[in-house]
Structure 1
Amino acid sequence: MSQATSPASPASGPSSPRVARDFYADLMRASQTSRAGFLAERERWLRGVPVDGREELLFEFEMLLRAVERYLNLTAVVDAKDRPLVTRDFHEELVDVRDAMDRAIRVARHLQDPDSDQKMVFRKYVETQLADDRVRRALIEEELDQETPPESLFVLREDLDALRNLLDHLLQLPTARLNLFQDLGKLALKEIVLNRYFRPFRPLEFRVEYDRLRSVRLLDTLAPMAEESRAVFTTAFLGLFRLLHYLAYVDAEGTPPAPRRVRVLLALVRSETHALATWMHADLSPKAGSKPLQAAALRAARDLAKESERIGREVLAHVDKEPEAPARAAAAFTQLLRAQVVALVEALAPNGGLTDGVFDTLVSPQDAALRLRKDLWVYAQLCRTAEGCLRAEDVPAAERALDALKSFLAYFHDGGYQLLRYADYDAFDRFTALLVELPWPPEGPGIRARLAEDLRRFSQTLESTFHAVSRRTLLQGRGFDRQEAEALRDRFVSTLSR
């Protein structure tokens, strides 16, 4: 593993300060290929959206887009052996798609800033009233350029609204034949895939906004691995948790009958489970490392492929006749995916002490909150120490303190940082960028004074975040283990005495 991504150790000395990197964010951005620039701009936009739960709304929106795109592919919804395609009535499938589009439009409205949305609606109205074709054409081209994420979201919402209205009329026909279903699929696919900022994620393409591993056990298991093996196993876990995230929306409505869009989401789960199984067999197993790990990857791939096929054949095939079928399919997929997460963790860390309830223990939110609280306390302590050395103009001690802080950042990014809430990332990212881009060592009293002030301000951010985590309901009755936190701090500050 490279120095930048390995966990910090007590032996890390001031002679070799390391640049902290977020291994997981780097991995996700690598999956985005040529779209990284657009997605970075969209991430900046999302952080300014004044809506609670904005990242979860964005996840739901992109999940629905991906589901519609996949559902309008014939292989996702029909079995040619069951009935000849040319005689099949696709009316029910169009009802499913219509409900998914309707929900996507409503989610998009929640994400749209009311002021900018009203301006774009007014511009759309003006466009229809203009008599001058040149001006109208200019407005149309300006809108379709999608220069900003809000404009891109508005264009896609308008396109979905038009398709929904079209579906309302098509559903009044006595039957919906194959060519109609295919043509609607072409129209929807074009509008979705050509969108600049909200084109849905591909299989095994991840987003820093909502694809995070929030299991302390899993993060600690992955951190010391060799870089190539760590990358492929991280991808596998991100893929499994993405599918579990989908399934949370299948059961979100509670008792049957389930909304029609649930059938669209289950088709997406089945499709991407198969894609993940294929990737595990072809990519994960050869790069897994030891033979036992290769075998574990092959078993996971086999189980995913075999069981998803069985669920499709035995449960999803009856979704039209049995109101409970969607819930049964969701439960079966959930059990399958959780089992593969646990199996891979146990293969990576045999005798790791997983207790009864296994998956729930592995993803315990209380363990995550306890780890985050401890890491935040240590981070604040190290910042305060470095600030004190800088203000005292003790340059050698300040350099050692800053080395310890930068060493801690590598450890923090492999663990506690992944457990933060999305709204917290911006402040942490800005401070990390400031620290790692600082001329090294920081020379001159002016630079040192500015850095001391930056450390003071970020210490306050760390302390307020620490108190916010401590107030979480799931930590009620769990006192702060100061002795354990001090032991972690001492792993890094021990370099100060050398």
Structure 2
Amino acid sequence: MSHASAPSVPTVLSSPRDFYGDLMRASQATRAGFLAERERWLRGVPVEGREELLFEFEMWLRAVERYLNLHNAVVDARARPLVTRDFHEELADVRDAMERAVRVARHLQDPDSDPKMVFRKYVETQLADDRVRRLLIEEELDQETPPESLFVVREAFDALKNLLDNLLQLPLIGLSLFQDVGKLTLREIVLNRYFRPFRPLEFRVEYDRLRSVRLLDILGALPADTRPLYTTAFLGLFRVLHYLTHVDPETQPPVPRRVRVLLSLVRGEAAAVASYLHTELSPKAGSKPLQAATLRAARDLARETDRIAREVMVDLDRDPAAALRAAEAFTTLFRQQIVALVDALAPNGSLGEEAFAHLTSPQDAALRLRKDLWVYAQLCRAAEGHLRSEDVPAAERVLAALKSFLDYFHDGGYQLLRYADYDAFDRFSSLLVELPWPPEGPGIRSRLAEDLRRFSQTLETTFHAVSRRSLLQGRGFDRPDAEALRDRFLPPATR
């Protein structure tokens, strides 16, 4: 069919935005350039589980920073004044956390570039020429790339760890020495260019995603003015639960010393989330029942966090099992508050017993993602077919349907993808953003059809990979349900 009936004035087919990604980037806008470069680096790191390794590494940086601030420490000042306290135990905890951070950093380091940087460091120590040595030091501290930045912080923690080994030989470590170690450590952390740890309620697209199908649907239905507020609250709540997954509940006491450092971070972040719920979310929560629910969640978080600190964490030095009991109590607390907020937003959708497990069911997430991928591929194949047959009006209708589907997909299925898959999906979305319509000439239409074909293959490959997951074994693909979703977007005449 001729494309004479197509619009005469070219328009741009705008692609939907990743709301959650935009929200996360907005929380770190002052460092957007560095973080975008770090994202590109991470996608090229040839290590299994690289996103979780990066999360853990930055978690330990943040935890050490928090633990060395006495405002976050749980010490019984009434039993013994701080000025007379021996801080051996605390510095031993910090040393264990630093050792773990260094180990994780080594896993993330590029196997090719790491030996080169180690050799350059060795050369730097052997040079007699102060001018050349200074140039090498300045090049290293410039941290021009993420691998160089990672190497700098790793070397700093190695040096601090060796310093702590010697300090721990002293008969007494007083308050001033503990605080000086904190100042040195803080400087190394905050001056790092690419791996400066996240602040409270600052999120990373690499590892902060909401993977609950029900929660994503609830948030997607919220008004535009309140949706970012609730999303931030849930991201903060799930972030703390993510911390707590690094405490193995099956560990037999005594638990690793670094767990005490992690619990200090959990306590501090819990206070930050409670403050956000009280001061930021509740005044704008919407209805009075929602305002009451957010205030109640803020109060419960603050009160229970204080109780866990007073009744459980204060015994960390005396009770080998106290750390595990504190981690369990925090986990229960945060799960309860997530469920309570979900119930407040959708009061008719009772989750019943095992509420948190139902809310975060990985099987439900896999089923939703599999269905969305199938529909996405169907739309792409339909658009490709109409382009190849030169049915431009039909192709235009399918591409409009595709854009409409992407609004739905980005709020749901896209959030359930694995980080490694994002690059291909983002590149295709960018192609749609830059697409002028109608594409003039058979050459342009042919190239667009080829792009659609290739991305359809990516979608089908991802679909089959999701289908092979063990948690979907025995769960056949519900084709009628998927076709019903497809038919919500695809005009009948273009199927």
> TM-score with structure 1 length normalisation?
0.95
Which one of the candidate residues 35, 39, 51 is aligned to 1:39?
Answer: 35
Which one of the candidate residues 22, 26, 30 is aligned to 1:30?
Answer: 26
Counterparts of 1:137 and 1:478, CA distance in 2: 63
Q: Cα distance, 1:305 vs. partner?
A: 0.1
Counterparts of 2:494 and 2:423, CA distance in 1: 33
Counterparts of 2:298 and 2:12, CA distance in 1: 41
Matched, 1:346 2:336: no
Which one of the candidate residues 422, 425, 431 is aligned to 2:422?
Answer: 425
* Aligned equivalent of 1:489: 486
Matched, 1:157 2:175: no
Does the 8 Å CA contact 1:20/1:409 hold for their aligned counterparts? yes
Q: Secondary structure at the match of 2:78?
A: coil
1:137-191 CA deviation, whole Å, 9 max, x = no partner? Answer: 1111011000000000000000000000000000000010000000000000000
Counterparts of 2:223 and 2:81, CA distance in 1: 51
Matched, 1:87 2:81: no
Deviates more, 1:319-328 or 1:148-157: 319-328
Question: What are the within-5 Å matches in structure 2 for residues 110-125 of structure 1?
Answer: 110-125=107-122
Consecutive unaligned residues in structure 1, runs of 5 or more: 1-14
Aligned-partner residue type, residue 345 of structure 1:
V
Does the 8 Å CA contact 1:251/1:330 hold for their aligned counterparts? no
Q: Cα distance, 1:18 vs. partner?
A: 5.2
Q: Would the alpha carbon gap of residues 436 and 43 (structure 1) be closer, same or farther in structure 2, given more than 3 Å must change? A: same
* Aligned equivalent of 1:231: 228
Q: Secondary structure at the match of 2:156?
A: helix
Q: Cα distance, 1:353 vs. partner?
A: 3.3
Does the 8 Å CA contact 1:98/1:167 hold for their aligned counterparts? yes
* Aligned equivalent of 1:358: 355
Does the 8 Å CA contact 1:342/1:359 hold for their aligned counterparts? yes
Which one of the candidate residues 102, 106, 119 is aligned to 1:105?
Answer: 102
Q: Cα distance, 1:439 vs. partner?
A: 1.4
1:268-288 CA deviation, whole Å, 9 max, x = no partner? Answer: 001110111011100010121
Aligned-partner residue type, residue 27 of structure 1:
L
Which one of the candidate residues 71, 77, 91 is aligned to 1:75?
Answer: 71
Q: Secondary structure at the match of 1:125?
A: helix
Matched, 1:302 2:296: no
Does the 8 Å CA contact 2:13/2:437 hold for their aligned counterparts? no
Which one of the candidate residues 232, 242, 267 is aligned to 1:270?
Answer: 267
> TM-score with structure 2 length normalisation?
0.96
Aligned-partner residue type, residue 307 of structure 2:
R
1:380-399 CA deviation, whole Å, 9 max, x = no partner? Answer: 00000000010001110111
1:251-284 CA deviation, whole Å, 9 max, x = no partner? Answer: 2662221100000000100111011101110001
* Aligned equivalent of 2:319: 322
1:200-228 CA deviation, whole Å, 9 max, x = no partner? Answer: 00000000000000000000000011122
Deviates more, 1:265-274 or 1:284-293: 284-293
* Aligned equivalent of 1:146: 143
Counterparts of 1:16 and 1:424, CA distance in 2: 26
Does the 8 Å CA contact 1:146/1:155 hold for their aligned counterparts? yes
* Aligned equivalent of 2:16: 20
Aligned-partner residue type, residue 61 of structure 2:
L
Does the 8 Å CA contact 2:12/2:435 hold for their aligned counterparts? no
Counterparts of 2:215 and 2:492, CA distance in 1: 29
Q: Would the alpha carbon gap of residues 496 and 292 (structure 1) be closer, same or farther in structure 2, given more than 3 Å must change? A: farther
Q: Secondary structure at the match of 2:15?
A: coil
Q: Cα distance, 1:320 vs. partner?
A: 1.1
* Aligned equivalent of 1:7: none
Aligned-partner residue type, residue 36 of structure 2:
A
Counterparts of 2:225 and 2:385, CA distance in 1: 40
Matched, 1:335 2:332: yes
Deviating beyond 4 angstroms after TM superposition, the runs of 4 or more aligned structure 1 residues are 15-18, 495-498
Does the 8 Å CA contact 1:401/1:496 hold for their aligned counterparts? no
* Aligned equivalent of 2:7: none
Aligned-partner residue type, residue 376 of structure 2:
Y
Matched, 1:412 2:409: yes
Matched, 1:402 2:413: no
Q: Cα distance, 1:405 vs. partner?
A: 0.6
Counterparts of 1:311 and 1:496, CA distance in 2: 62
Q: Cα distance, 1:322 vs. partner?
A: 1.0
* Aligned equivalent of 2:50: 54
Which one of the candidate residues 472, 487, 490 is aligned to 1:475?
Answer: 472
* Aligned equivalent of 1:4: none
Counterparts of 2:134 and 2:18, CA distance in 1: 45
Matched, 1:171 2:171: no
Aligned-partner residue type, residue 403 of structure 1:
A
Q: Cα distance, 1:496 vs. partner?
A: 5.0
Counterparts of 2:242 and 2:366, CA distance in 1: 20
Does the 8 Å CA contact 1:400/1:495 hold for their aligned counterparts? no
Does the 8 Å CA contact 1:266/1:330 hold for their aligned counterparts? yes
Counterparts of 1:253 and 1:353, CA distance in 2: 31
Does the 8 Å CA contact 1:94/1:181 hold for their aligned counterparts? yes
Q: Would the alpha carbon gap of residues 252 and 128 (structure 1) be closer, same or farther in structure 2, given more than 3 Å must change? A: farther
Matched, 1:290 2:287: yes
Counterparts of 1:252 and 1:440, CA distance in 2: 56
Does the 8 Å CA contact 1:404/1:495 hold for their aligned counterparts? no
Counterparts of 2:351 and 2:14, CA distance in 1: 33
Does the 8 Å CA contact 1:250/1:266 hold for their aligned counterparts? no
Q: Cα distance, 1:495 vs. partner?
A: 6.8
Which one of the candidate residues 448, 452, 456 is aligned to 2:453?
Answer: 456
Aligned-partner residue type, residue 226 of structure 2:
S
Aligned-partner residue type, residue 42 of structure 2:
L
Q: How many residues align?
A: 484
1:436-484 CA deviation, whole Å, 9 max, x = no partner? Answer: 2211332222221111000000000000100000000000000000000
1:221-247 CA deviation, whole Å, 9 max, x = no partner? Answer: 000111221101000000000000001
Q: Cα distance, 1:290 vs. partner?
A: 1.3
Counterparts of 2:397 and 2:476, CA distance in 1: 32
Matched, 1:375 2:372: yes
Matched, 1:445 2:431: no
Counterparts of 2:249 and 2:126, CA distance in 1: 43
Counterparts of 2:13 and 2:140, CA distance in 1: 48
Matched, 1:216 2:213: yes
Counterparts of 1:353 and 1:456, CA distance in 2: 42
1:415-441 CA deviation, whole Å, 9 max, x = no partner? Answer: 000000111111111111111221133
Q: Percent identity?
A: 78
